[in-house]
Structure 1
Amino acid sequence: MKFADLNLPEQVMQGVADAGFSDCTPIQEKTLPLSLGGKDVAGQAQTGTGKTAAFLISLFTKLLRSGRGGERRHPRAIILAPTRELVVQIEKDAQVLGAHCGFTIQAIYGGVDYMKQKNALKEGADVVVGTPGRLIDYLKQKVYSLKEIEMLVIDEADRMFDMGFIADLRFILRRLPPYDKRQNLMFSATLNQRVMELAYEFMNVPEKVAVTPEQMTAERVEQVLYHVGRKEKFPLLLGLLRKEGMERTMIFVNTKREAEFLDERLNANDFPCRVISGDVEQRKRLKILEDFKSGKLPIMIATDVASRGLHIDGVSHVINYDLPQDAEDYVHRIGRTARAGAEGKAISMADEDGAFHLEAIHEYIKDKIPVEWAEDDLFVHDFKRVKPRPKGQETRAKGPTRHGRKHPEAEKKEPEGEKKKRSRPRRKKNPAAGEGGTPPAAE
């Protein structure tokens, strides 16, 4: 199916042409006829298949056809996404696809421009793209209202659950107009039972559309797995970087501490790289992403905060320095390469711990990752060594945790004075207690 066959408004077709689209992807071909017809849709497809364009085209078409109603300053459509990077990407795509529609599009996310975003909402925005935390903050201050919302889009709904956003998501959804007075679209890489329960609760008899090929991973990704000891991982990584000539490479690790240590070691050995994780300040994260996209930065080290929602053209290699503990994350990680029909290579290293996750990954992707055995000459042993930081000196997570995970919106540093005020007072020694200050058992 071609976009020209869908009877889209001229303004939307101009945006589609600007984006360089002509043929629909499978998820677009299945969902657009439904969503353009006014139906609610819950769409499932693997990463990098055009879900963003599918819901943006539907959104702009609906707003153009319905005309302007209600107060000028209140948003008419809201798009919810779990991570700041995904919000930025959606807003960027929306600016291209909606360039000729005349709508004001505003991104709302934590970490930057608090007053600037607040003032933009006050002035009025037709389409708001945001993370739940910052949106709720402004909503409680009555900066904007949700009473004029005509379309709701939830992107990466399963990730909302994973990141502890479900309470915030429900807070927002309960303040929208009734579900039958708006159109609702939900897109995700997986539509499990809990996601569908959310869909049936807040959507109007949604049509479930799944585009899940037998091969879970992108077809054009060449996958390879190396079994390697923990102490041999870095020598092998250096050998691979030298051999493969990786022009734009993403390296995934499981912890921020490992990311920082790997960053120091690679830079010390003349492989320029930067780290992107949930604790990096937002301005720095955006600058790192921009440098990586433009080619100024050849290597980016990332935790799983970056494995979803980022569309970066030309990523030649993805390296799983640590195998992910969640099998789904393997698919999302390697989906950063071979996007939009390009080719790419995904290299994974299974050490003594990582090998335990292989069975779950193979079961999830319904295939086995091809194994290669590294020759001795592939390992580099004459590298510059860097001492790991003592555990007490590592960068501490900023902000509270939720369900054992760091909330992405909690980035503000607590003033030193506040910490002291809240510190627990020293308990006086009980005179009746022994030398250690422990009260007698009877007390």
Structure 2
Amino acid sequence: MPPPRAAVNDIATGSEFRSFDLAPQILDGLTDAGFHRCTEIQERTLPLSLRGRDVAAQAQTGSGKTAAFLITIFQRLMLPAPKKTGKEPRALVLAPTRELALQIYRDAQLLGKHTRLRFSVIYGGVSYRSQLDDLTAGLDMIVATPGRLIDYIKQKSVNLQRISILVIDEADRMLDMGFIADLRFILKRLPPYQRRQSMLFSATLSARVLELTYEYMNLPEEITANPEKPVVDTVVQLLYHVSGVDKLPLTLGLLRHESWERVLIFANTKSTVAWLAERLCQNGYSAKGLTGDLTQKQRTQIMTQYRQGKIPILVATDVASRGLHVEDISHVINYDIPQDREEYVHRIGRTARAGRTGKAITLACERFVYYLEPIEELIGQKIPLAWADDNWFVADSGRSTAAKSLGRQVPQRPPREGRKGRTSRRGPRPSEPSAKESEKRSPASPGQRPVDPKKRHRRP
């Protein structure tokens, strides 16, 4: 298995890891993974966390935050431990989803392979037996999702009273997914915050997240990495205004004309995900849908195939994609505009990670266009408009069995423009914009014409 995030060193900007007083085994693991210099979040976190200070850090996915807290954990666990009283774990990492928990576990195996520390990952949807065997054998660090960990706590299969360092990753997502009660249940079973070190990482340090830090952390230092840049600078963003019935033809055209390696397509509903994945397969593409209805075995199989490139196109809902960490996603397509503007930032952040470039393409139809303005307010810019020529609309081939269950959500294609005055599927071609407007919203490329803002869909 390739190093999960070795390429993150491409965005390293600061001190060398050797400038910190790290255990040789940790430095060996960093070197093997290709890590030599700190990213911004690592450079700002490690001087504090290695001294035992509590930290609440705002950092985006792909910033190197996982290495920051793993290095801190390893260094703390490599110190002479108090006299052992059992096989209880000494470090706990909480993650909101099984995919993120598995990714952290893989990173721990990679970076900590010379430390002789024992790790395990605990998440739901799989057999209790293998995880229980790890717990009874003795562990130094547990990576866990809240639900399954609580099961073991209630069964008295795990004792958290020897935890000396706690990490809560993606805290904002944890709260968004309704885990606050689970978090409180777990945190109350740890040693008091005065007797442990705590680290929290979140895409946003919202009022709810800060409330959690005040209640369960010991005067944490707040760290913000690039707060003024909520969207990855290296993401090329494009916006197409298109009718709902033409989103599939345009998606097929984008897949035909764009140069892509691995694509992640977002839709707002499970039914749309299932239908779109089937349509892509019917049109000759290898694609799978990822929704919350799948079993853990099915999700794991799909994600393994996606990471290995056997399935280059993944269609997913926001909920199902939480915690999804896959490198080399070249394109993100928002088949539906997200109803939560924060989700747009999370979506496009799946590409252009670890210093790479990527493209995020959004299709704005009459049903979801009303969510566009709040997104543009959040990211502080207008998403550049693009115009697709007729040859970018590729006709759908075959029949859909899933479409029967969608009913009115899968409308028939309207008549195209002709000599008898029929309406165009995309409306009239926009007039040439003024020089001022062209400067504000430049076209995606010289061969594309921008859409006149007056033609944008507006709420009646």
Shorter-normalised TM range: 0.7 to 0.9
Equivalent residue, structure 2, for 1:423:
none
**Which of 25, 47, 56 is the equivalent residue of 2:70?**
56
Equivalent residue, structure 2, for 1:332:
346
1:130 is the counterpart of 2:144:
yes
Aligned partner of 2:78: which letter?
L
Structure 1 SS opposite 2:79: helix
Deviations 1:117-137 (A, max 9, x none): 112112211100011000000
**Which of 249, 272, 292 is the equivalent residue of 1:278?**
292
**Which of 132, 137, 154 is the equivalent residue of 1:140?**
154
Deviations 1:16-66 (A, max 9, x none): 112211111111111110000110000001221011111111011111124
1:168 and 1:382 map into 2 onto residues whose CA distance is 46
Structure 1 SS opposite 2:100: helix
1:367 is the counterpart of 2:378:
no
Moved more, 275-284 or 329-338: 275-284
TM-score calculated relative to the size of structure 2: 0.83
Q: Is the CA contact (8 Å cut-off) linking 1:46 and 1:212 kept in structure 2?
A: no
2:53 and 2:265 map into 1 onto residues whose CA distance is 40
Aligned partner of 2:330: which letter?
S
Structure 2 SS opposite 1:270: coil
Q: Is the CA contact (8 Å cut-off) linking 1:248 and 1:299 kept in structure 2?
A: yes
Equivalent residue, structure 2, for 1:163:
177
Aligned residue runs from structure 1 range 20-31, under 5 A: 20-31=34-45
TM-score calculated relative to the size of structure 1: 0.86
Deviation (angstroms), 1:235: 0.5
1:329 and 1:241 map into 2 onto residues whose CA distance is 23
Deviation (angstroms), 1:150: 0.4
Equivalent residue, structure 2, for 1:436:
none
**Which of 256, 260, 264 is the equivalent residue of 1:246?**
260
Equivalent residue, structure 1, for 2:450:
none
Equivalent residue, structure 1, for 2:431:
none
Deviation (angstroms), 1:373: 1.6
Aligned partner of 2:92: which letter?
I
Gaps of 5+ in 1: 393-443
Aligned partner of 2:19: which letter?
D
1:294 is the counterpart of 2:308:
yes
1:206 is the counterpart of 2:210:
no
Deviation (angstroms), 1:389: 3.7
1:299 and 1:166 map into 2 onto residues whose CA distance is 34
Q: Is the CA contact (8 Å cut-off) linking 2:342 and 2:375 kept in structure 1?
A: yes
1:120 is the counterpart of 2:113:
no
Structure 2 SS opposite 1:284: helix
Relative to structure 1, is the Cα distance of residues 213 and 204 closer, same or farther in structure 2, using a 3 angstrom cutoff? Answer: closer
Structure 2 SS opposite 1:242: helix
Q: Is the CA contact (8 Å cut-off) linking 2:288 and 2:315 kept in structure 1?
A: yes
Structure 2 SS opposite 1:200: helix
Equivalent residue, structure 2, for 1:190:
204
Find runs of 4+ consecutive structure 1 residues off by over 6 angstroms: none
Relative to structure 1, is the Cα distance of residues 307 and 29 closer, same or farther in structure 2, using a 3 angstrom cutoff? Answer: farther
Deviation (angstroms), 1:391: 6.0
Equivalent residue, structure 2, for 1:5:
19
Aligned partner of 1:296: which letter?
K
1:306 and 1:24 map into 2 onto residues whose CA distance is 31
Deviation (angstroms), 1:2: 1.3
Relative to structure 1, is the Cα distance of residues 69 and 97 closer, same or farther in structure 2, using a 3 angstrom cutoff? Answer: farther
2:104 and 2:319 map into 1 onto residues whose CA distance is 16
Q: Is the CA contact (8 Å cut-off) linking 2:96 and 2:323 kept in structure 1?
A: no
Equivalent residue, structure 1, for 2:233:
219
Deviation (angstroms), 1:215: 2.7
1:370 and 1:336 map into 2 onto residues whose CA distance is 19
2:303 and 2:83 map into 1 onto residues whose CA distance is 38
Q: Is the CA contact (8 Å cut-off) linking 2:26 and 2:75 kept in structure 1?
A: yes
2:186 and 2:363 map into 1 onto residues whose CA distance is 41
Equivalent residue, structure 2, for 1:70:
84
Deviation (angstroms), 1:71: 2.9
Q: Is the CA contact (8 Å cut-off) linking 1:324 and 1:330 kept in structure 2?
A: yes
Deviations 1:165-196 (A, max 9, x none): 11001000011001010000000111100110
Aligned partner of 1:369: which letter?
I
2:358 and 2:333 map into 1 onto residues whose CA distance is 11
Deviations 1:256-295 (A, max 9, x none): 1110011111111111101122221112212211111111
Deviation (angstroms), 1:68: 5.0
2:282 and 2:34 map into 1 onto residues whose CA distance is 41
Q: Is the CA contact (8 Å cut-off) linking 2:41 and 2:64 kept in structure 1?
A: yes
Relative to structure 1, is the Cα distance of residues 187 and 292 closer, same or farther in structure 2, using a 3 angstrom cutoff? Answer: same
Deviation (angstroms), 1:306: 5.0
Q: Is the CA contact (8 Å cut-off) linking 2:99 and 2:325 kept in structure 1?
A: no
Deviations 1:360-389 (A, max 9, x none): 111111122111021122111252231414
Deviations 1:198-235 (A, max 9, x none): 00100000000011343321121111011111111001
Relative to structure 1, is the Cα distance of residues 64 and 294 closer, same or farther in structure 2, using a 3 angstrom cutoff? Answer: same
2:303 and 2:43 map into 1 onto residues whose CA distance is 31
Q: Is the CA contact (8 Å cut-off) linking 1:40 and 1:204 kept in structure 2?
A: yes
Equivalent residue, structure 1, for 2:117:
103
Provide the aligned C-alpha RMSD in A: 1.4
Aligned residue runs from structure 1 range 343-358, under 5 A: 343-358=357-372
Aligned partner of 2:318: which letter?
D
Equivalent residue, structure 2, for 1:420:
none
Structure 2 SS opposite 1:23: coil
**Which of 405, 419, 439 is the equivalent residue of 1:390?**
405
Aligned partner of 1:170: which letter?
R
**Identity among equivalent pairs (%):** 55
Gaps of 5+ in 2: 1-14, 408-460
Q: Is the CA contact (8 Å cut-off) linking 1:215 and 1:366 kept in structure 2?
A: no
Aligned length: 392
Deviations 1:321-348 (A, max 9, x none): 1111111111111111111111111111
Aligned residue runs from structure 1 range 36-55, under 5 A: 36-55=50-69
1:243 and 1:72 map into 2 onto residues whose CA distance is 60
